[in-house]
Amino acid sequence: MTTSVDNPNVILDAARIRRSVQRIARQIHEDFHSADQLVLVAVDGQGTVLADRIAAELVAISDGNVLSSVLSIHKDEPLQHEISMSPDVGEQLRGATVVVVDDVLNSGRTLLYAVRHILGFAPRCVAACVLVDRIHRRFPIRADYVGLSLSTTFQSHITVKLSGDEEDVALLS
């Protein structure tokens, strides 16, 4: 197991990530337990793995209907590329409670464009969830559900690894 003692760049080890996912799922359930339809929209990449884990926790602790979708967005040039959701749940977003899930919130641009796309389907409300919030806002976006808030320098980079052969970890470099 990689821990912060073994590697000072580790900001979240596998155990803390697991606890964060459980806590986030409980917070989402507490806030939206009466929602008719809860849709987790994952930003493609590590956000998908995070959303799948949160969905599994939500199913385990509630009897509500949880629907999942993956939003594909070009993070560097969101306006120059098409934004799409798979499966296409557009009609099911109408009047639904939507939680957009990504691994790291840095400037807020990715979440802003994701929410912009989702708003076209007229959801009842939209919330944002991230594993790590870097607190470097250039856009008026905040996360409603956060595993870890961390103030870093602009030169720092956070890497989240939730899938693959190695243990889950979030690293600061």
- Is 163 within the bounds of a domain? no
Does residue 173 sit within a domain?
Answer: no
Predicted confidence (pLDDT) per residue in 43-77, tens digit: 998 999 999 999 999 999 988 789 999 999 877 77
Contact in structure between 84 and 114 (CB atoms under 8 Å) = no
Q: Please state the domain count of the chain.
A: 1
Give the CATH number, domain containing residue 129: 3.40.50.2020
| Full domain range(s) for residue 124 | 14-153
For 122-141, the pLDDT digits (tens) are 999 999 999 999 887 788 88
pTM for the full predicted model? 0.89
Report angle CA 129, 130, 133 to the nearest 5 degrees: 125
Specify if 164 maps to a domain: no
Structural domain includes residue 140: yes
CB 16 within 8 A of CB 160: no
In a domain, 148, yes or no: yes
